[in-house]
Amino acid sequence: MKSVLAIDLGATSGRAVSYYIVEGTLFSEEILRFENVPIKERGVLAWDIHLLFSNILQAIQLASEKGELLSLGIDTWGVDFALIDGEGQLVAASAHYRDKRTKGVLEEVSQCSSLTDLYFKTGNQLMEINTLFQLIRTRTKNPDSFFLAKNLLMIPDYLNYLLTGQKAIERSIASTMQLVNPYTQTWSQDILEMFEIPETLLPELVQEGNILGELSSKYKLGNPKVINVCEHDTASAIAAIPVEDDKTLFISSGTWSLIGTELNTPIINERTLNYNFTNEAGHSGTTTFLKNCTGLWIVEELRREFEHLGQPFDFDTIAKLVAEVDRPTAIIDTDSPEFAEPDQMIEKLKEYAQKTKQPIPESPGELFKVAYTSLASKYKEVIGQLEEILAERFEKIHVIGGGSKSTYFSQLIADTTGKTVVTGLSEATSVGNALIQLVALGELTSIQEGRQLVRQTFDCKQYYPQKNKEMGDDKLS
């Protein structure tokens, strides 16, 4: 059996999934799943890159034992990076976007340059975690690391470098950096000059589907090709959505929620700036126009906190607890800064409700319901902004990612937004990752053919906004 290996690294866990095609159907097998737990190094919250890489090597070995492994591709979250010296060694740990070192950086940058100008040059949502701002803080707080660095590689590109010895940055992950011209999808010379970032720090930009090289022989794991997939996990996930027409509204629901659509060209104007929408590179030269919001992070933090209190809850139990709550619950702004940081989420929700004179959640069911209903409310708000910008109305939402597994949450999104919700691709990111590899290898002619394959393979469920309607199960169509 010949297969490709999709390695999908999320902010809390990683997975490696093997994919292969048999008689017009896409088959998959999970090879390995592992936790992605940050570490503290020299006072900085950082990624345990070496542990991640050891898991990747283990996944390659396990996949190779099952048959001929043709290729592999790695996708991850955006914005975070590795700085390496002339010998290819890390000059410092790769910082986690939730590390506090970038707090207040937007205000600091605004003192010497226009944030509006920065948005218009990059089309990127202005967020303190963006690579540019992390790099600025690295230079001021850890100048030794900054000036020792010969190259910057985004996380998946650094892992690819460890596998092959080849340096490149793929365009979709680069487009999360606030360093790329959104129209040419090349490094923005204006931004590099404005912030005195040497161009030599940044390697070549490559398109998705680029065959970077073969796995180094030193690992003695064969010679599968290493392919630059859409390395930003959102871009890979969107590549898998089996759209029926050009009007695609998606919510990628995971630790983060990304709400948007596919466009042929970026949209950058005063309204998109005010609503803080971002333009990122997608597959086949498309632009992914979206807004990045807090996602199931709050639910995950509540679960973690309750587990520490001796009350572990799985998602089925949470859904039952939430369904039993019959009194009004508070609605929070899920993007309020206090919810972005870990720990004490129970107390933060209660304090927010008290401060805004809303019912204070007490029971686990009430706390989880606050998180879910507030998130659905945020989706409705952002979709309204998107429809206003595009002067279009969407009737259907493709919900992908882990959040789509929840029947309760999917129905809540439909009821709150008044739109039909389509689910069925909870592992959309690894599917899209695999499709890009299969196109690069010539096993598929295009992403469009890949989406047709997805339509033929996966069952979907539709949730209608009227609760008295039955939910339908169909092939994706």
- Report, as residue numbers or ranges, the catalytic residues: 233
Q: How many Cβ atoms sit within 10 Å of the Cβ of residue 37?
A: 10
d(C-alpha 408, C-alpha 381), whole Å: 20
Q: How many residues are given for the chain? A: 477
Q: Name the residue with tokens 């008689």.
A: 23
Q: Which of 300, 316, 310 is nearest to 367 (CA)?
A: 300
Q: Compute the CA torsion angle 339, 341, 344, 349 (nearest 10 deg).
A: 0
d(CA 47, CA 71): 25
Query: For tokens 């205000």, what's the residue?
Result: 107
How many other CB atoms are there within 10 angstroms of residue 370's CB atom? 27
Contact, 283 vs 291, CB < 8 A?
A: no
How many whole angstroms from its chain centre is CA 61?
26
| Residue showing tokens 């936790």 | 35
**DSSP 3-state of 382:** helix
Distances in Å between the Cα of 294 and the Cα atoms of 121, 146, 280, 379 are: 25, 30, 18, 10
The letter for the amino acid at 38 is: P
Q: Cα(456)–Cα(446) distance, rounded to whole angstroms?
A: 16
How far the first Cα of the chain sits from its last, in Å, is: 29
Q: Which amino acid type is present at position 26?
A: L
Q: Cα separations (Å) of 104 from 67, 137, 333?
A: 51, 10, 20
Name every residue whose Cβ is closer than 8 Å to that of residue 109 and which is 6 or more positions away in sequence: 115, 118, 133, 136
